[in-house]
Structure formats: C-alpha cells, structure tokens
C-alpha cells in the first residue's frame, strides 16, 4: 500500500471554535499566541489537569508501544517537552530526540529542561529528510492540527520503514454530564488553581480553548481511517479511563 495524496484543503474549523478563529491562517496566529503566553505556567496547569500522573503515564505509553534505547525520536507539537523528557529517558545516550513545535515560547521552556534539538514548525510541513526517525510521538495536540491528512502523510514520509507513530489524545466523554464536567474542569478549575502556582502565566484562555477542542474533537474512527489512508498499518486505538486515547500505527517495513 502506498500513501494517498493529502487533501488540498485543511479541515474547516468546527463551529464551536469560531470564537477563536475563522480560517487556517488565523488559527495558526491565534493558537501560537495563546501557547506563547501560557508557556511559563503550562507545566503547572498540566500537572493539575493530569492530577500529577502525567510523567509516569507518558513514559509508560511510549515504553510499551516500542520506544527503546538507541532509537531516533521526533516529538511533534512538543510544547514544553513533557513527552520529550519521557522519550529522552527511554532512548538513552545512544539515541536522539528532536522536538518540533510552532511556539517559540514553548520551545524556550523545553530547552530549560533538556538539551535536545528543537525545530520551530508544524506537523503538516516537517523540515526533515525522508526516512529520518524511528518513532514519532505527539502528546495531546492532534486536536490543534489544521490538516490531519497532511500531518499523517508527513509522519509517514519522515519515518523509516517499520517506524512507529504514537498519538496520545483526550477524547470527549460519551455522556453530557461527563462532557460538562471535563469542560468545566479544563476551562475553569485548572486556570483558577494554576494562579496559585509558582510561575504566573496566562493559561486561562488556552485551557478554555482546550476544553472547546475536546468538545469539537474528530471522531476516533476518522483518525484511524486517516492513518490507514496515508499508508500506515497495524493501526489501532486503546482507551484508558474512558477519555485518554492512544492511536498507534506502523509504517510498513517494505513498500508493497
């Protein structure tokens, strides 16, 4: 199977996101600004969001899905490096980690933690050669991608034959009460609690946006179908606690 051509146009913004932007160019400007402004307080807000379980969970997800010593990892939408740190620990000194993100503010925070190569850019246009890495990770950022087909086609391109992709994501609860509780926690409780953290930053708007992107998230079946359509195999999804999803896929070892 060969990858299909990516679509010519990005996904249209969900009506629930119209309050933030109206087209792809505006989406990029607005979201980069939100991430830059929230960068200094991002880790504190994330710790509250995950109830402190994030470091263990990210490390475990990458480990059991095949990231190992000596591998070359590309962490897409790396942000402040929460997944990057877990990946670096697994690949060890013989491995290599690259961190890609469009927000210079987030990448600056990442470089405070770890000494890895950082790349300012988007998932839809990765400035790396073909067949360059063994593993691609993406932590809770698929909802922010404007064109999923192009992003997955890029993942397929930069992965070496047999390489794996692991996408961690939050999906909306099935019932309305669960949806309301999650949106309230992300949009109101976390920003309020983060104000008492050691580092002050404007995370309120970003976390409200997070809640809205969860509500507007693409259905899991469409994500899996797009992975298959762009050339991946062994495509599957696992769910933890009803909302934490892992989308997993592998680039064929040989062209068919």
Question: What are the residue boundaries of the structural domains of the chain, listed by start?
Answer: 15-250
10-42 per-position pLDDT tens digit: 445 566 677 677 788 888 998 899 889 888 888
Mean pLDDT of the chain: 83
Q: What is the pTM of this model?
A: 0.84
> In the numeric block, which tokens belong to residue 193?
């609690």
110-142 per-position pLDDT tens digit: 999 999 999 999 999 999 999 999 999 999 889
Task: Compute the average pLDDT of residues 180-189.
Answer: 63
Identify the CATH number of the domain defined by range 15-250. Answer: 3.40.50.150
pLDDT band (50, 70, 90) for residue 56 = confident
The whole-number pLDDT of residue 215 equals 67
60-110 per-position pLDDT tens digit: 999 999 999 999 999 999 999 999 999 999 999 999 999 999 999 999 999
The whole-number pLDDT of residue 46 equals 75
The whole-number pLDDT of residue 198 equals 47
DSSP-derived letter for residue 231 is: T
């Amino acid at each position: 199977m060969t990858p299909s051509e990516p679509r010519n146009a990005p996904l249209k913004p969900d009506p629930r996101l119209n309050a933030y932007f109206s087209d792809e160019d505006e989406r990029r400007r607005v979201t980069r600004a939100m991430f830059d402004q929230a960068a200094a307080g991002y880790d504190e807000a994330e710790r509250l969001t995950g109830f402190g379980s994030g470091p263990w969970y990210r490390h475990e997800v990458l480990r059991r899905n095949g990231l190992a010593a000596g591998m070359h990892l590309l962490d897409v939408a790396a942000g402040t490096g929460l997944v990057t740190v877990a990946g670096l620990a697994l690949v060890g000194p013989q491995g290599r980690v690259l961190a890609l993100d469009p927000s210079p503010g987030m990448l600056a925070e990442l470089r405070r933690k770890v000494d890895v190569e950082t790349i300012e850019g988007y998932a839809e246009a990765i400035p790396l050669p073909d067949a360059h890495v063994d593993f691609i990770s993406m932590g809770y950022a698929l909802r922010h991608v404007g064109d999923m087909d192009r992003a997955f086609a890029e993942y397929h391109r930069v992965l070496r034959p047999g390489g794996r992709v692991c996408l961690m994501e939050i999906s909306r609860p099935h019932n309305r009460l669960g949806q309301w509780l999650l949106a309230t926690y992300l949009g109101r409780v976390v920003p309020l609690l983060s104000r008492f953290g050691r580092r002050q930053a404007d995370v309120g708007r970003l976390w409200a946006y997070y809640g809205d992107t969860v509500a507007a998230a693409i259905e899991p079946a469409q994500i899996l179908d797009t992975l298959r359509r762009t050339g991946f195999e062994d495509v599957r999804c696992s769910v933890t606690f009803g909302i934490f999803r892992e989308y997993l896929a592998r680039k064929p070892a040989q062209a068919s």
